[in-house]
């Protein structure tokens, strides 16, 4: 009765109730937006995979125009990309693996390269119908053919099992002059990884008097403790390359 019959009390009551209602609505909206982030991230990951394929096609087309050598559409379209969400990930073991929520039903197969928006991640080890397990770069058995972008010299990126933010760049000969801050990318020497995928940045370089190779530490571009989405690289030419090498020189697949 007081609220109904007195303007001042009525105004104060409705202002207070409106503030409470507004706060509740704002909180509810925030909760809805938070839980919708999973769908938004999935959509962004799918879009990144499509854009990456278009970029690869564009780069091959430009190379074709500049060199007038590549006209085969199979080469221009040599890679496809499939986005996937990380379902499990370890970083504290000597041999770390990553599980993703895409498998055979999405065309994923063992041997395919895996990358992220930041850089190289690893290689598919095994698949089931709806899941796949990836050998992480943080695995002492995994090796990636790499190149120092500034110098063009090749090496092999491999983890030593200690710091999950650093990997070694091995077999870079002593006459090469690598520098701290140099970018290290995939070489493209195999048909798994596309050429030029960032692995990381050189953080430490040392060379003893008797050593044949530099001791180089790379800070990984991808922080594996924060890995949420990846892209699987489907090489459309890998089978042809592997088959030819197997027939000709006996290189195992």
Is residue 119 within 8 A of residue 200, CB to CB? The reply is yes
pLDDT score for 64: 40
The residue to which tokens 């140099």 are assigned:
182
Query: What SS3 class is residue 40?
Result: helix
- Classify the phi-psi angles of 122: left when phi > 0, otherwise alpha if psi is within -120 to 50, otherwise beta: left
Residue 3 has pLDDT above 90, yes or no: no
pLDDT tens for 26-51 read 555 455 445 555 665 665 656 565 56
For residue 202, the domain's CATH number is: 2.40.10.350
Residue 193 lies in a domain: yes
Q: CA-CA distance, 181 to 39, in Å (whole number)?
A: 36
Q: In DSSP terms, which residues pair with 10 in a beta bridge?
A: none
In the chain, how many domains are there?
1
Domain that holds residue 215: 143-223
Q: CA-CA distance, 33 to 242, in Å (whole number)?
A: 47
pLDDT score for 79: 77
Residue 183 lies in a domain: yes
pLDDT-derived band at 16 (thresholds 50, 70, 90) equals low
Residue 194 lies in a domain: yes
Tell me which DSSP letter residue 226 carries. G
Residue 206 lies in a domain: yes
pLDDT score for 22: 43
Query: What SS3 class is residue 78?
Result: coil
Residue 140 has pLDDT above 50, yes or no: yes
For 2, residues 6+ apart whose C-beta sits below 8 A from its C-beta are 9
Residue 179 lies in a domain: yes
Per-residue burial over 189-218, b if 16 or more Cβ lie within 10 Å, else e, is eebbbbeebbbbebeebebeeeeeebebbb
Q: How far from the centroid of its chain's Cα atoms is residue 113's Cα?
A: 9
Query: What SS3 class is residue 212?
Result: coil
Tell me the whole-structure pTM to 2 decimals: 0.69
Residue 215 lies in a domain: yes
Where does residue 8 rank: exposed (0-12), middle (13-18), buried (19+ CB within 10 A)?
Answer: exposed
pLDDT score for 27: 52
pLDDT tens for 164-200 read 999 999 999 999 999 999 999 999 876 578 889 999 9
pLDDT score for 70: 41
What's the mean pLDDT in 226-249?
Answer: 76
pLDDT-above-70 percentage for the chain: 63
pLDDT score for 47: 58
pLDDT score for 129: 93
What's the mean pLDDT in 69-89?
Answer: 70
Query: What SS3 class is residue 144?
Result: strand
Residue 229 lies in a domain: no
Residue 21 has pLDDT above 50, yes or no: no
pLDDT score for 56: 56
- pLDDT top residue among 136 and 19: 136
For 37, residues 6+ apart whose C-beta sits below 8 A from its C-beta are none
């Amino acid at each position: 009765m007081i609220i109904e019959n007195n303007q001042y009390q009525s105004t104060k009551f409705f202002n207070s109730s409106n503030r409470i209602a507004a706060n509740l609505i704002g909180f509810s909206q925030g909760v809805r937006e938070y839980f919708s982030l999973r769908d938004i991230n999935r959509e962004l990951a799918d879009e990144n995979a499509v854009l990456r394929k278009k970029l690869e096609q564009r780069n091959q087309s430009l190379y074709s125009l500049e060199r007038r050598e590549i006209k085969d559409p199979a080469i221009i379209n040599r890679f496809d990309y499939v986005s996937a969400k990380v379902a499990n990930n370890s970083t504290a073991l000597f041999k770390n693996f990553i599980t993703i929520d895409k498998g055979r039903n999405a065309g994923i197969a063992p041997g395919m390269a895996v990358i992220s928006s930041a850089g190289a991640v690893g290689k598919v080890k095994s698949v089931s119908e709806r899941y796949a397990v990836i050998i992480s770069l943080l695995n002492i058995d995994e090796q990636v053919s790499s190149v120092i972008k500034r110098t063009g010299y090749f090496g092999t990126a491999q983890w030593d099992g200690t710091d999950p933010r650093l990997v070694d760049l091995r077999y870079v000969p002593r006459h090469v002059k690598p520098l701290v801050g140099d970018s290290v990318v995939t070489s493209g020497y195999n048909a798994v990884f596309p050429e030029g995928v960032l692995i990381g940045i050189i953080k430490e370089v040392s060379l003893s008097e008797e050593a044949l190779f530099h001791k180089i530490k790379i800070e990984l571009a991808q922080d594996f403790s924060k890995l949420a989405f990846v892209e699987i690289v489907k090489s459309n030419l890998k089978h042809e390359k592997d088959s030819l090498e197997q027939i000709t020189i006996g290189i195992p697949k």
